[in-house]
């Protein structure tokens, strides 16, 4: 229990740093560390496949994408954030902590969640046989993302006269 | 087990709050997408924790994997958009986007 609380606190601290740090590269790296911690939490919750995806894809690929974008937009970190925003953050955070602690426990008993009960079969059976349509949707989403990036980076067509 | 569920959902709500606060108050486009990432971490933590507590971890894992794939496609498209906006405006200030002419 203690290790879980430490991991969760680390996750929140690094996520907060990702938002509050002034340097965008450092912010992206602390986001990667937060993903790494989330991956470890998934492993501890006996969800190894989700943990592997979280560490390899989110902590790896998305961080690379973020660093690449930050490098391509060098002057981007000159955007001035309002000072009041960072100063007011701890106050709002403490307020939310109090509300979260008071309300969440009673909410959890009312919100319907995943059906409980022991599962049969292996992870492969659930992913490939029960959630087959999800895989089709994933292929569609990946294709849509690739086409969107291609469309956004296409060059202007030159006039045919020349 | 209920206490464990409460702990995880408490922290995932905290992550979602941090992301929403950044989305509502900050101006840098890249930072806004970092906030979207933080929110998505909170959501995936909530899904896996609920699955683990309710003995339904296999279904929760498959949902989270689908969610991560959607997240990657979203981030790739959004960062491509950000680069295009930077090329046009020479700035990442989100307030400049309100000056678009249709």
Q: Is residue B101 domain-resident? A: no
Domain locations in chain A as residue ranges: 1-75, 122-153
Question: According to the model, what pLDDT value does residue A118 have?
Answer: 63
Q: What is residue A113's DSSP assignment?
A: -
Among A24, A47, A63, A71, the strongest candidate for a mutation testing the B interface, having the largest count of B CBs within 10 A, is A47
Average pLDDT for chain A: 84
Q: Residue A1: helix, strand or coil by DSSP? A: coil
| Chain B CB contacts of A27 below 8 Å | 31, 34
Contact A79 B92 (CB under 8 A): yes
- A114 in Cβ contact with B51 (< 8 Å): yes
Q: Are A69 and A61 in contact (CB under 8 A)?
A: no
What ipTM goes with this model?
0.90
Give the Cα separation of B40 and B95 in Å (integer). 24
Asked whether the beta carbons of A40 and A51 are under 8 A apart, the reply is yes
Q: Which tokens is A51 given?
A: 């943990």
CA separation, residue A120 to residues A13, A105, A113, B11, B57 (Å): 37, 30, 19, 30, 11
Two structure tokens written together for A44: 């501890």
Q: Answer yes or no: is B66 within a domain.
A: yes
B102 lies in some domain:
no
Q: What number of other Cβ atoms are within 10 A of residue A32's Cβ?
A: 21
pLDDT at position A115: 66
CB atoms B54 and A114 under 8 Å: yes
∠ CA(B84), CA(B86), CA(B92), 5° rounding?
130
Taking CA–CA distances from A9, the nearest residue in chain B reads B11
A144-159 per-residue burial string, b: 16 or more CB within 10 A, e: under 16: ebeebbeeeeeeeeee
Tell if the CB–CB gap between B15 and A149 is shorter than 8 Å: no
Q: How many domains does the structure of chain B reveal?
A: 1
Domain encompassing residue B17 = 2-94
Q: What is the CATH number of the domain that holds B69?
A: 1.10.287.3510
Q: Please count the residues of chain A.
A: 162
pLDDT tier for residue A128 given thresholds of 50, 70 and 90 = confident
Look at A6-15, A23-32, A123-132 and tell me which has the smallest mean pLDDT.
A123-132
Q: Is B99 domain-assigned?
A: no
- Does position A162 have pLDDT exceeding 60, yes or no? no
Tokens of B72: 């990657």
Between CA A76 and CA A25 the distance in angstroms is: 11
Q: Which residue has the higher pLDDT, A133 or B68?
A: B68
Give mean pLDDT, residues B8-15: 91
Q: B49 to chain A, minimum CA–CA distance in Å? A: 7
DSSP state of A77: G
pLDDT (tens digit, 9 = 90+) per residue, B32-54? Answer: 999 999 999 999 999 999 888 88
């Amino acid at each position: 229990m203690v290790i879980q609380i430490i991991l969760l606190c680390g996750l929140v601290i690094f996520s907060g740093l990702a938002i509050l740090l002034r340097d965008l590269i450092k912010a992206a790296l602390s986001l990667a560390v937060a993903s790494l911690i989330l991956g470890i939490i998934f492993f501890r919750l006996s969800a190894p496949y989700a943990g592997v995806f979280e560490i390899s894809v989110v902590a790896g690929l998305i961080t690379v994408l973020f660093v690449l974008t930050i490098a391509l937009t060098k002057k981007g970190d000159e955007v001035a954030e309002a000072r009041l925003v960072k100063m007011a953050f701890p106050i709002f955070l403490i307020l939310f902590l109090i509300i979260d602690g008071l309300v969440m426990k009673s909410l959890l008993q009312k919100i319907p969640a995943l059906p409980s009960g022991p599962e049969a079969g292996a992870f492969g059976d659930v992913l490939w046989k029960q959630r087959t349509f999800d895989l089709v949707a994933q292929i569609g989403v990946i294709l849509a993302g690739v086409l969107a990036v291609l469309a956004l980076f296409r060059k202007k067509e030159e006039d045919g006269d020349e | 087990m209920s206490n464990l569920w409460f702990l995880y959902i408490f922290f995932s709500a905290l992550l979602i709050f941090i992301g929403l606060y950044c989305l509502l108050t900050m101006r840098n486009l890249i930072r806004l997408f970092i906030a979207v990432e933080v929110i998505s971490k909170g959501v995936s933590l909530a899904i896996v924790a609920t699955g683990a507590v309710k003995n339904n971890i296999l279904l929760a894992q498959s949902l989270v994997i689908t969610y991560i794939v959607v997240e990657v496609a979203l981030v790739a498209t959004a960062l491509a958009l950000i680069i295009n906006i930077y090329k046009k405006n020479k700035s990442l200030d989100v307030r400049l986007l309100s000056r678009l002419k249709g």
